[in-house]
Structure 1
Amino acid sequence: MNKQESPNLAVVVPAAGVGKRMQSACPKQYLTINHKTVLEHTVERLLSHQSIDKVIIALGENDGYFADTSLVNHPNVETVIGGQERVDSVLAGLYRVQAIGYDWVLVHDAARPCVKTSDIDQLINHCLSANQGGLLAYPAKDTIKRSSSDGSVAETVERSVLWHALTPQMYPTVKLIDAIVAGLAQNKVITDESSAMELANEPSQLIEGASDNIKITRPEDLALAKFILSNQQLSNQETICE
């Protein structure tokens, strides 16, 4: 994809969470991999895509880390104050995206630094071609069990129709805002952008992405992300050499 074939796009990155499951002294987005914070890796990866020229980061109100990152004076990065829940931070970012005039928006987790630009390409191409929103996802590979209330197996779920939801997720900006606002007004639980669109009876495409687009959630995920990023860098160097 070249820049002439796609409108310039904005991405909202919710980064107001504290990441309690990481059991670390600072939020997971500010843990470091190879001397860069996870957030820096993520935002730099997004801005390396030729169609993305703006990243809106939703920060915690008392964030004490962002000012020390390389992103603080980046010309393509803006910040807004996020909220208590992920959806509140996304909505704050979306309002800014709407204000500066982007018709389409991507939302990407701050703790997913390994997303491939080729997968972002696929997402953007599919959504714009169909004029319909969608999300990166990958098919479930393992046998899936549904548990009963006592923790025993209730049933084995047919995995052929199950997908792991990833980010980015991409939708028309106004439609996504309206869907989230309506869902919150009904006290619905909104876990990602796709779930908000489902509540609003809006369609979402599933675009298959790489399973190494992991979300750093637990301590062991940081080492895995470092390994994936190193392998991706090596693979890119080998491609260039060829």
Structure 2
Amino acid sequence: MADHQSKFAFVVVAAGRGERMGASQEGPKQYRKIAGKPVIRLSLEQILTWPHCAPVVVVIHPDDTELCDKALAGLNADPRFKTVFGGKTRQESVLKGLKALETSGIDNVMIHDAVRPFIDHALLDRVAQPIVEGSPGAIPAIAVADTLKRADASIITETIDRQALFAAQTPQAFHFATILNAHEQASKAADTGFTDDASILEWAGIPVRLAEGTADNIKITLRRDLEIANERMSKRMVPDVRCGNGYDVHQLVDGDGVTLCGVFIEHEKRLSGHSDADVALHALTDALLATCGAGDIGDHFPPSDPQWKGCASHVFLRHAANIVRERGGRITNADISIIAERPKIGPRRDEMRKNLAEMLEIDLERCSVKATTNEKIGFAGREEGIAAIATATVIYGAHGHE
């Protein structure tokens, strides 16, 4: 596909209330979780990582701003991302999403229901291809396999020939100007009988092509759909296990003690640094940030910023842990090796481990603190400084949240 022609904007419809799902503290169905991730996040992760994705407009209910921000934390920092408020009907919501793209200069658009979280890049490619080839509209669809009956008051009146019947899915792809104009005309006609966007082009007499859909592309409508989706994810998804490493060193100068893993140990020297110079927590902070490509401690807490002068390093570690959780991670292990001739770490090790468990909100058995000397070799051996090496293990993806 040619680069310019193959770019697609997206309108992701997430303004519904989902009454058939039933009430929940998690909110409407697009914010319910499948294997620890909100449904809408699963959809957006596929869309934003598709190579041909251009601007993305997520249409939400005015009451759901906070829910959306939380569900899409990290993803919503993408410069292509934008949210707008929807209308009373799905058609009104889609039209508002399309209008938000009017000045983007994009030629093509896909419209997707946020509650179809099992899309993939192959499906997006198949739906895009007819548009790139010049069709005004295309939808993914699968042939109807069940025998269909028409009934009146529970009495069958007719068996429907399924030979030419297809079940429509999303995302549905369109030439942008064509679908925008059709939506505007339908809005003026006050016709509200449209159940998808392809039906609006059909109403306008514009042909829409079929692309191969997939049985996996289910729509989360009922509570049972959510249960089935969780079962499917738990069987097919391999945990995304990541390990991050961190290293830090601070100079020893005259003083009255050092702080390591949040524990103050009396000593004739102290660690020099802009904050409390807790070399162990600094190394672990970097290790956590490494698991999600979030830079290092200096990016988040630059030593040139006076507000961090003398700051307790647990602030840095908790910040890194929050970033990991916002990006769908669950911290499963933290290991720190402290390299120092003195002071002795062993007598305070359990206290340090308890601090780590509390700061990271994980079990004590998942926290390890070790110490070793440098056999009088190098800066650590000469007691000029203390170094720390840290490793963090985090699971992202399907098992990212408890």
TM-score, reference length from structure 1? 0.89
Q: Which residue of 2 aligns with 1:119?
A: 123
Shift in CA distance, 227/51, structure 1 to aligned 2, threshold 3 Å? farther
Q: Which residue of 2 aligns with 1:58?
A: 59
Matched, 1:200 2:201: no
| DSSP 3-state at the match of 1:62 | helix
Q: Deviations over 1:156-190 (max 9, x none)?
A: 00111110010010111121111122223223212
The question of whether the paired residues in 1 share the 8 Å contact of 2:13 and 2:113 is answered with yes
Q: Which residue of 1 aligns with 2:151?
A: 147
| DSSP 3-state at the match of 1:176 | helix
Q: Which residue of 2 aligns with 1:16?
A: 15
Q: Which residue of 1 aligns with 2:296?
A: none
CA distance in 2, matches of 1:203, 1:227: 38
Q: Which residue of 2 aligns with 1:84?
A: 88
Shift in CA distance, 147/132, structure 1 to aligned 2, threshold 3 Å? same
Q: Which residue of 1 aligns with 2:260?
A: none
Q: Which residue of 2 aligns with 1:41?
A: 42
Q: Report how far residue 96 of structure 1 moved.
A: 1.2
CA distance in 1, matches of 2:108, 2:96: 15
Q: Report how far residue 232 of structure 1 moved.
A: 5.5
User: Aligned match of 1:183 in 159, 170, 186?
Assistant: 186
| DSSP 3-state at the match of 1:115 | coil
The question of whether the paired residues in 2 share the 8 Å contact of 1:97 and 1:173 is answered with no
Q: Which residue of 1 aligns with 2:167?
A: 164
User: Aligned match of 1:73 in 70, 77, 81?
Assistant: 77
Q: Which residue of 2 aligns with 1:239?
A: none
Unaligned runs of 5+ in 1: 235-242
CA distance in 2, matches of 1:230, 1:101: 41
Q: Report how far residue 123 of structure 1 moved.
A: 0.9
Q: Report how far residue 8 of structure 1 moved.
A: 1.9
The question of whether the paired residues in 2 share the 8 Å contact of 1:16 and 1:58 is answered with yes
TM-score, reference length from structure 2? 0.55
CA distance in 1, matches of 2:132, 2:195: 24
CA distance in 2, matches of 1:227, 1:173: 37
Q: Deviations over 1:14-66 (max 9, x none)?
A: 11111001113210010012222111111111112111132210011121411
Shift in CA distance, 151/183, structure 1 to aligned 2, threshold 3 Å? farther
CA distance in 1, matches of 2:63, 2:179: 27
| DSSP 3-state at the match of 1:80 | strand
CA distance in 2, matches of 1:228, 1:124: 27
| DSSP 3-state at the match of 2:207 | coil
* Residue type of the alignment partner of 1:47: L
By percentage of residues, which structure has more strand?
2
> Sequence identity of aligned pairs in percent?
33
CA distance in 2, matches of 1:227, 1:89: 31
Figure out how many residues of one structure are paired with residues of the other and give that number.
232
CA distance in 2, matches of 1:190, 1:118: 27
The question of whether the paired residues in 1 share the 8 Å contact of 2:131 and 2:175 is answered with no
CA distance in 2, matches of 1:111, 1:80: 17
The question of whether the paired residues in 1 share the 8 Å contact of 2:140 and 2:212 is answered with yes
* Residue type of the alignment partner of 2:160: V
The question of whether the paired residues in 1 share the 8 Å contact of 2:34 and 2:233 is answered with no
Unaligned runs of 5+ in 2: 239-402
Q: Which residue of 2 aligns with 1:240?
A: none
Q: Report how far residue 124 of structure 1 moved.
A: 0.7
CA distance in 1, matches of 2:15, 2:88: 8
| DSSP 3-state at the match of 1:138 | strand
CA distance in 1, matches of 2:183, 2:160: 29
Shift in CA distance, 232/52, structure 1 to aligned 2, threshold 3 Å? farther
Higher gyration radius (CA): 2
CA distance in 2, matches of 1:227, 1:46: 23
Q: Deviations over 1:101-136 (max 9, x none)?
A: 111100000000001211111111122114331100
The question of whether the paired residues in 1 share the 8 Å contact of 2:31 and 2:39 is answered with yes
| DSSP 3-state at the match of 1:164 | strand
| DSSP 3-state at the match of 1:216 | coil
